[in-house]
């Protein structure tokens, strides 16, 4: 994201790609304008939150008119750096990694897995979709050469920290960690953890303790 968006709350920042996706859908469907109530229904975020989120960027909507779809689209495209492709590497081409390579974020214009790594000799040298799988010994040199800024970690938890340590001195600025390992990194590197087991447990907890909380029945902030 560019500098203008650096000071917005993190929860708002995390909702931006969600807004962008739905605004793209509205644009593709030929819609010219959208009210915060319609947007709220589509993205399942309450309209007060949408108005507050949008207010961080100045007055984007007009009372009684709603938001101009083209304006929002170009605004979010610019804010989310959609015109600039962020190169991603995937480390660990097992069950989860293979699924990501097949999916390869085709709906996102600005992120693409460019390269993958594994230690398994049966996988190294092959391609999944457009993505080549290289031996782990080539990790640092290829990350630097291709100027890759994000690494997705889908390796066994035991090796997650050592792989992380080995990419600290490369072009990597962010790590999307799917392993259950908690990673130690310097503050110059950002780590986002995605743990299905934790999410499932949280869902079970909310079902049990907040069965009637229909106001907040969608969690889009993580």
Ligand X SMILES: NC(=O)c1ccc[n+]([C@@H]2O[C@H](COP(=O)([O-])OP(=O)(O)OC[C@H]3O[C@@H](n4cnc5c(N)ncnc54)[C@H](O)[C@@H]3O)[C@@H](O)[C@H]2O)c1
Compare residues 61 and 92 and give the one whose CB is closer to ligand X.
92
Query: Binding residue for ligand X (CB under 6 A) from 10, 28, 95, 188?
Result: 95
Selected from 26, 155, 172, 175, the binder of ligand X by CB under 6 A is 155
Instruction: Determine phi and psi for 34, rounding to 5 degrees.
Output: -145, 140
**Does the annotation place 129 within a ligand binding site?**
no
Shortest reach from residue 160's CB to ligand X, in Å: 7
Phi, psi of 103 (to 5 degrees): -80, -50
Q: State phi, psi for 22 to the nearest 5 degrees.
A: -75, -35
Q: Are 87 and 148 in contact (CB under 8 A)?
A: yes
Burial class (CB in 10 A: 0-12, 13-18, 19+), 127: exposed
CB closer to ligand X out of 94 and 129? 94
Tell which one of 118, 142, 143, 164 touches ligand X (CB under 6 A): 118
Q: Could you list the beta-strand ranges (E) of the chain.
A: 33-34, 61-62, 66-68, 86-91, 111-118, 127-128, 131-135, 150-153, 174-177, 190-193
Among 16, 60, 136, 183, binds ligand X (CB under 6 A): 136
Residue 51: is it exposed, middle or buried by C-beta count within 10 angstroms (0-12/13-18/19+)?
middle
179 touching ligand X, by CB under 6 A: yes
Q: Which of the stretches 33-41, 53-61, 148-156, 204-212 binds ligand X when contact is defined by CB under 6 A? A: 148-156
**Cβ(221)–Cβ(19) under 8 Å?**
no
- Answer for which of 4, 120, 146, 220 binds ligand X (CB under 6 A) is 120
For ligand X, the binding residue among 85, 180, 182, 210 (CB under 6 A) is: 180
Decide: helix, strand or coil at residue 1. coil
* Minimum separation from the CB atom of position 200 to ligand X (A): 9
Binds ligand X by CB under 6 A, chosen from 159, 176, 185, 189: 159
Residue 119 in contact with ligand X, rule: CB under 6 A: yes
**How many Cα atoms occupy the beta-carbon half-sphere of 115 within 13 Å?**
21
Residue 122 or 212: the one with the smaller Cβ distance to ligand X is 122
Contact residues: ligand X, CB under 6 A: 91-97, 117-120, 136, 154-157, 159, 163, 178-180, 194-196
- Binding site for NAD(+): which residues? 92-97
């Amino acid at each position: 994201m560019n500098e203008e968006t650096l000071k917005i709350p993190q929860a708002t920042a995390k909702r931006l790609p969600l807004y962008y996706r739905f605004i793209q859908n509205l644009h593709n469907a030929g819609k010219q304008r959208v009210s915060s109530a319609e947007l709220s229904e589509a993205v399942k975020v309450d309209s007060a939150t949408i108005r507050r989120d949008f207010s961080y960027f100045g007055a984007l909507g007009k009372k009684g008119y709603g938001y101009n779809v083209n304006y929002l689209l170009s605004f979010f495209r610019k804010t989310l750096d959609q015109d600039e492709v962020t190169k991603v590497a995937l480390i660990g081409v097992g069950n989860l990694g293979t699924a990501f390579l097949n999916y390869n974020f085709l709906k996102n214009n600005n992120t693409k897995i460019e390269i993958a790594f594994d230690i398994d000799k049966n996988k190294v040298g092959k391609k999944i979709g457009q993505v080549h799988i290289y031996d782990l010994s080539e990790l640092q040199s290829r990350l630097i050469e291709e100027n890759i800024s994000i690494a997705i970690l889908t390796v066994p938890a035991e090796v997650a920290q050592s792989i992380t340590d080995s990419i600290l001195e490369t072009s990597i600025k962010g790590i999307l960690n799917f392993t259950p390992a908690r990673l130690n990194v310097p503050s110059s590197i950002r780590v986002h953890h995605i743990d299905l087991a934790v999410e499932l447990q949280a869902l079970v907890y909310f079902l049990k303790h907040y069965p009637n909380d229909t106001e907040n029945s969608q969690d889009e902030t993580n």
